[in-house]
Amino acid sequence: MNIKLRRLATLLLLSACPPLAATNFQQQSQLHSFASQSRLEFAVVSNFVSNTGTTGRLKLSNLSQLPLGAGPGNWQIYLHSIRKLSAAEQFGLQLEHVQGDLHRLSASHNFAGLQPGKTVEIQYSGNAHMVSYTDFMPRAFIVASSLKPEIFANTNTEELSRFVAPFHRPEQLLRYQQPEPDLHPIANATSRYQQNLVVNAGSVDTQALQDKILPSPREVSYQRGRTELNAQWQIVYQGRLAGEAGYLQQQLKDKGLTLQSQAGVNEQLQQKIVLLVDAKVESSEGYQLQINDNSIVIRGHDNAGAFYGVQSLLSLLPASISAQKYPLPQLTANDSPRFAWRGMHYDMARNFHGKAVTLRLIEQMARYKLNKLHLHLTEDEGWRLEIPGLPELTDIGAHRCFDLTEQRCLLTQLGTGPHRTGSGNGYYSKQDFIEILKFAAARHIEVIPEIDMPAHARAAVKAMEARYHRLKKQGDEAAARQYLLSDLADKSSYLTVQNYNDNSVNVCLDSSYAFIDKVVYELSQMYREAGLSLSTYHMGGDEVGAGSWQGSPACQALIAKGLPGVAGVADLKPYFVGKVAAILQQRQLALAGWEDGLMYDPINPFNRALFANKTVIANVWDNIWEWGVGDRAYRLANAGYQVVLSHGTHLYFDHPNEAHPEERGYYWATRYTDAARVFAYAPADLYANADRTRTGRAIDDLEALLGRALPTLQKPENIIGMQGQLWSETVRTAEQLEQMIYPRLLPLAERAWHQASWEGKKAEQKRRDSDWQQFARVMTKRELPKLDKAGVAYYLPPPGATLNGDLLLANVAYPGLAIEYSLDQGQSWLAYPANGEGVRVKSPALSQGKVLLRTKSVSGKVSRITETE
């Protein structure tokens, strides 16, 4: 049948449908027509209904030619919502929670149908406030019997405003009113302008900015004169530094400068870059950089130190050297890192973004001397690494689609929609991972793999259940149970923070530990194939759902054995950690975990003596000050754990860059985290970071707020470093990922490498502001163009602006970025003068009090648009 005949047949079929007579969808074309033409829309009504909840509205508009028939029918609508939604039956429609963020809307016998052109609205309650477009997820879809699910076209987009109503009123924009109001004002052009005045203040020494090394060296002295680097120079290196020399040669070539390179230090060469390892250079990863008339000498304590000296040299260069030469400042830098652990955590388990963006992240981490990549490889929503011998982990666990049996894929989550081709699906093959390991190692970055258990493990649990059913069907019961992670008779009842009731690995099964040992073995083999050794395994361990294992016969049997330290369900989490630690100790591996996975309760860590491992690392993340848990870093360090500062209030890059509904991200730890806030973090005095509560109330005295003494740090040597965190629930694309990471990664690297004199001292705020003024300008003028050249999609802050009569004054949080304004609602854009003195604007726009503005990078990237008040 040709296309015209098919269209005619479809039209005849639709015209033959009597009003409300057809209660079921019978043809794929009917379902497609309904989903592509109808609209599903969401709105926040009010966040002021309670301390933690919200009310909202779900609107279904039938804009197709097909009626929804009366009664149950054969259709259901599925939608994604991070907030758990509930609603009483309305108009014969029932909204119910399925699992995680997946919800279902279905019709009962009371449903009167929905005629073409008609709309129905469902009022619902959410279990938490919603003040951002990214609190909503795309790709709602409709299913009908065995027909292929169809996505509502207006939700099949990353432009969330196409299906989410605007945020205008205070009860939509603010999170709560009781027991105290949300004190965080919503950012606008005027408030940004005032906030940006500090970073834009002060005089600018252009030459000093050009000559600044990022991250800041421990010591640097500048001499008079400059050294011209050109193609006549050569790179000479000690034999063991062939990799570092090759890296430098390639980086210079990428900038437009081709230099010859040779092993062995040739003293006869007149103009040379010399790379050496010299044990006299103090401390691991330390280096000395000397730039003189005819030589640039980099001495590293070790290979890593030499590599960081190379990065400091490259830091002084622009993105491109157009004239085949570049004048460098003559200087001597003696430098070493503040922390041994300078990390970035990346969650590709919630949403997978591909290998290319991972390699770009590694490259940028290396540029700024970060040395630990913490890969969050597994989650409830996905397993992202091929494990030989366990194909279900990626065949099923790496893909989400609409399959309620979960024998083909996991339940769809996080805006993926019903198809395996949807956003967030995928995984690293074994060869991908080995390539990543080699790429990172060449840049002196250690990859820390995280396999999150016992909670946050739904992908693994369901994949191994599918494996069990496959092998049992083949008649091999023993093989089926070999790696089973769940007690199939478990009646435990719990609900996690992410609204799952079946995501805990059963810690009482021997097969669970057989699974972990298998995964650790295969990971170790991958590292070996990459020419490396796995040294640290991250078990996750966080956010175990209260009630896990209470209804498990396997756990009741284990407790009944009377094993030492296993007297009840509360002992099962430390039992699990002990078993995992023992597996790792057998393989001489360090154990790492999130803080709450290593604690009996909010105050007491597990007895460190229970674990024979030489190193047990705790990522300390939960520092909500008013909750009284902001002292866990000191408690764990004092108890003998090595601590990596990972605090939510300053180091969670999945939080918005500013308080505004159009900003991406969660806001559970703080309302926003901009680059200046990351820069101001004080690792050496954690309590000095207690600036505001979650409501935005100023904290003047943390001890008074908590009503108890705060523990002091007794073992500072156990604070081994810090890292940024990117969780990806709201991050579905590679571009979104990079906009959340960059440029916040740069001040993260600054604080991890360099300790500022003003840290933790309120009296030194002016010094901090001065340092930020300089850092922000260097970042804008020199580093953002490098990110542009590397193809990195970084975040641009909208400008601030104010109108004094017809005088438009504007500024931006990253001084040096261009500002454009429009007087015709964005049809054309004019350059705002770089001198910052303002511009007179006389146009019809002023009669409405609206001038549109945006920030623009050198490469042409633009920020989202703001408008004058």
Which residues does the annotation mark as catalytic?
Answer: 543
Which residues neighbour 133 within 8 Å (Cβ) at sequence distance 6 or greater?
Answer: 160, 161, 164, 167, 661, 662
Q: Identify each DSSP E strand in 239-323 by its residue range.
A: 260-263, 272-277, 287-291, 295-300
Round to whole Å and give the CA distance between 833 and 841: 12
Bond before 553 cis per omega within 30 degrees:
no
Q: Which two three-digit tokens encode residue 334?
A: 């003696």
Give the span between the Cα atoms of 647 and 722, in whole angstroms: 9
Find, among 342, 312, 333, 288, the residue nearest to 751 by Cα.
342
Strand ranges for 301-391 from DSSP E: 325-335, 341-347, 372-376
- In sequence order, the β-bridge partners of residue 618 are 593, 643
Q: Quick one: which H or E segment has residue 194?
A: helix 189-200
Contact 722, 651 (CB under 8 A): yes
Distances (CA, A) of 195 to 119, 121, 188, 780, 800: 44, 41, 11, 18, 8
CA–CA separation, 347 and 723 (whole Å): 13
Within 8 A by CB and 6+ apart from 701, the residues are none
CA gap 216, 213 in Å, rounded: 6
Q: How far is CA 296 from CA 282, 312, 327, 332, 333, in A?
A: 19, 12, 13, 10, 12
Distance between CA atoms of residues 778 and 770, nearest Å: 13
Pairing assessment for the beta strands 400-401 and 410-411 based on DSSP bridges: parallel
Q: How far is Cα of residue 24 from the mean position of the Cα atoms in its chain?
A: 42
Looking only at the bridges linking them, the beta strands covering 446-453 and 839-840 are: unpaired
CA distances from 351 to 158, 676, 741, 847 (A): 14, 27, 15, 46
Residue keyed to tokens 């309120």: 762
- Is the Cβ–Cβ distance between 92 and 128 less than 8 Å? no
Question: CB atoms < 10 A from the CB of 113, how many?
Answer: 20
Tally of CA atoms within 13 A in the half-sphere of 172 that contains its CB:
16
Q: Name the token pair of 379.
A: 């989650």
User: In a 10 Å sphere around its CB, with 0-12 CB exposed, 13-18 middle and 19+ buried, how is residue 703 labelled?
Assistant: exposed
Query: Is the bond leading into 179 cis (omega within 30 degrees of zero)?
Result: yes
Distance in angstroms (rounded) separating the CA atoms of residues 196 and 181:
25
**Helix/strand/coil for 572:** helix
C-alpha span between 338 and 299 (Å, rounded): 18
Alpha-carbon distance of 679 to 333, in angstroms, equals 22
Tokens of 211: 């000559």
Buried b or exposed e, range 635-668, using 16+ CB within 10 angstroms: bbbbbebbbbbbbbbbbbbbbbbbbbbbbbbbbe
**Could you tell me if 397 and 461 are in contact, meaning their C-beta atoms sit under 8 angstroms apart?**
no
Phi, psi of 449 (to 5 degrees): -80, 135
Whether residue 458 contacts residue 380, with contact meaning beta carbons closer than 8 Å, is answered with: yes
